[in-house]
A and B are shown apart, each in its own frame.
Chain A
Amino acid sequence: MRAEGFGGDGPKNGEAEFREFAIGRWPALVRFAYGLTGDAGHAEDLAQITLAKAYASWARVRRADDPDAYVRRILINAQHTRFRKRRIREATGPRLPEPATADGTDALDQRSDLIAALLQLPPKQRAVVMLRYWDGLTETQAAAVLGCSVGTVKSQASRALAKLRTSPLLQDGSLPC
Chain B
Amino acid sequence: MLNDETLEERLHQDLDRLQPGSVPMEALIGRGRTIKARRRAGFAAGLAAVAALAVGAPAALSGGGGSPATSGAAKRQIVLASGTIDGKTWSFVTEEPAPKGGCPGVSGRWGTTRADFCLGLMPVTTDPVSLSSGGGLSTVNFFIARLRPDVDHVTVTGTDGGVQTPAVATVSGNRYELFALPAKQGIARLDAIGTAGKLIAYTIPYNEPEHARSLIQLWYPAGSTPTQAVVKQIIFSGTMPPASTPVTATVDMGPFGVCLLVSVPQGLDGGSKLGPDCHSLTPPDPTSLTSLRSYPIGARKLFLGEVNTAVDHVDVTFSDASTTRLTPIRVGGHSFVVTFVAAGLDYGVVRAYDASGKQLAALS
B10 on the A face (CB < 8 A): yes
What residues on B are CB-neighbors of A40 within 8 Å?
Answer: 18, 138
What residues on A are CB-neighbors of B270 within 8 Å?
Answer: 24, 27
Whether B271 and A56, one on each chain, are in contact in the complex, defined by CB atoms closer than 8 angstroms, is: no
Tell me the smallest distance from the CB of A105 to a CB of chain B, in Å.
10
Q: Mark A53-74, 1 if CB is under 8 A from B, else 0.
A: 1111000000000000000000
Whether A56 and B35, one on each chain, are in contact in the complex, defined by CB atoms closer than 8 angstroms, is: yes
B305 on the A face (CB < 8 A): yes
In whole angstroms, how far apart are the Cα atoms of A54 and B349 in the complex?
Answer: 32
Number of interface residues of B (CB under 8 A): 65
Which DSSP category, helix, strand, loop or mixed, fits chain A's interface?
helix
A108 on the B face (CB < 8 A): no
What residues on A are CB-neighbors of B114 within 8 Å?
Answer: 45
Contact for B292 among A6, A18, A24, A112, CB less than 8 A? A6
In whole angstroms, how far apart are the Cα atoms of A42 and B138 in the complex?
Answer: 10
In whole angstroms, how far apart are the Cα atoms of A20 and B136 in the complex?
Answer: 21
Contact for B31 among A20, A25, A31, A49, CB less than 8 A? A49
Q: Mark A1-26, 1 if CB is under 8 A from B, else 0.
A: 11111111100000100111011111
Q: Mark B2-28, 1 if CB is under 8 A from A, else 0.
A: 111011101110111011101111011
Contact for B23 among A26, A102, A130, CB less than 8 A? A26
B289 closest partner in A (C-beta): A6
Whether A115 and B20, one on each chain, are in contact in the complex, defined by CB atoms closer than 8 angstroms, is: no
Chain B 30-59 residues near chain A, CB threshold 8 A? 31-36, 39
Whether A44 and B32, one on each chain, are in contact in the complex, defined by CB atoms closer than 8 angstroms, is: no
Whether B269 and A28, one on each chain, are in contact in the complex, defined by CB atoms closer than 8 angstroms, is: yes
Q: Mark A22-43, 1 if CB is under 8 A from B, else 0.
A: 1111111011101100001111
Contact for B32 among A41, A52, A106, CB less than 8 A? A52
What residues on B are CB-neighbors of A20 within 8 Å?
Answer: 296
A96 on the B face (CB < 8 A): no
What residues on A are CB-neighbors of B294 within 8 Å?
Answer: 3-4, 6
- Which of A31, A35, A42, A165 has the largest number of chain B CB atoms within 10 A? A31
Whether B136 and A44, one on each chain, are in contact in the complex, defined by CB atoms closer than 8 angstroms, is: yes
Whether B112 and A103, one on each chain, are in contact in the complex, defined by CB atoms closer than 8 angstroms, is: yes
In whole angstroms, how far apart are the Cα atoms of A6 and B302 in the complex?
Answer: 12
B226 on the A face (CB < 8 A): no
Whether B23 and A22, one on each chain, are in contact in the complex, defined by CB atoms closer than 8 angstroms, is: yes
What residues on B are CB-neighbors of A6 within 8 Å?
Answer: 290, 292-294, 303, 305, 347, 363
Contact for A52 among B3, B116, B138, CB less than 8 A? B116
Contact for B1 among A8, A42, A54, A177, CB less than 8 A? A177
In whole angstroms, how far apart are the Cα atoms of A129 and B4 in the complex?
Answer: 10
What residues on B are CB-neighbors of A176 within 8 Å?
Answer: 1-2, 6
In whole angstroms, how far apart are the Cα atoms of A112 and B295 in the complex?
Answer: 32
In whole angstroms, how far apart are the Cα atoms of A5 and B293 in the complex?
Answer: 8
What residues on A are CB-neighbors of B296 within 8 Å?
Answer: 20, 23-24
Given known pairs A1-B363, A27-B20, A175-B10, the reply for A51 and B28 (CB within 8 Å) is yes
Given known pairs A3-B294, A45-B112, A176-B1, the reply for A27 and B305 (CB within 8 Å) is no
Contact for B269 among A19, A27, A43, A45, CB less than 8 A? A27
Whether B112 and A41, one on each chain, are in contact in the complex, defined by CB atoms closer than 8 angstroms, is: yes
Tell me the smallest distance from the CB of A155 to a CB of chain B, in Å.
15
Tell me the smallest distance from the CB of A91 to a CB of chain B, in Å.
18
What residues on B are CB-neighbors of A97 within 8 Å?
Answer: none
Tell me the smallest distance from the CB of A62 to a CB of chain B, in Å.
14
Given known pairs A41-B139, A52-B31, the reply for A31 and B16 (CB within 8 Å) is yes
Whether B291 and A7, one on each chain, are in contact in the complex, defined by CB atoms closer than 8 angstroms, is: yes
What residues on A are CB-neighbors of B29 within 8 Å?
Answer: 15, 18, 52, 55
A9 closest partner in B (C-beta): B290
A150 on the B face (CB < 8 A): no
A120 on the B face (CB < 8 A): no
Whether A3 and B116, one on each chain, are in contact in the complex, defined by CB atoms closer than 8 angstroms, is: no
A133 on the B face (CB < 8 A): yes
Tell me the smallest distance from the CB of B100 to a CB of chain A, in Å.
16
Given known pairs A6-B294, A41-B112, A175-B6, the reply for A1 and B138 (CB within 8 Å) is no
- Which of B18, B19, B25 has the largest number of chain A CB atoms within 10 A? B18
Whether B347 and A22, one on each chain, are in contact in the complex, defined by CB atoms closer than 8 angstroms, is: no
In whole angstroms, how far apart are the Cα atoms of A126 and B303 in the complex?
Answer: 38
Given known pairs A4-B294, A6-B292, A49-B31, the reply for A23 and B4 (CB within 8 Å) is no
Q: Mark B87-116, 1 if CB is under 8 A from A, else 0.
A: 000000000000000000000000111111
What residues on B are CB-neighbors of A43 within 8 Å?
Answer: 18, 20
B272 on the A face (CB < 8 A): yes
A142 on the B face (CB < 8 A): no
In whole angstroms, how far apart are the Cα atoms of A42 and B4 in the complex?
Answer: 27
B278 on the A face (CB < 8 A): no
7 A-B pairs with CB atoms under 8 Å apart are A1-B347, A3-B301, A7-B291, A27-B20, A32-B15, A42-B112, A55-B35
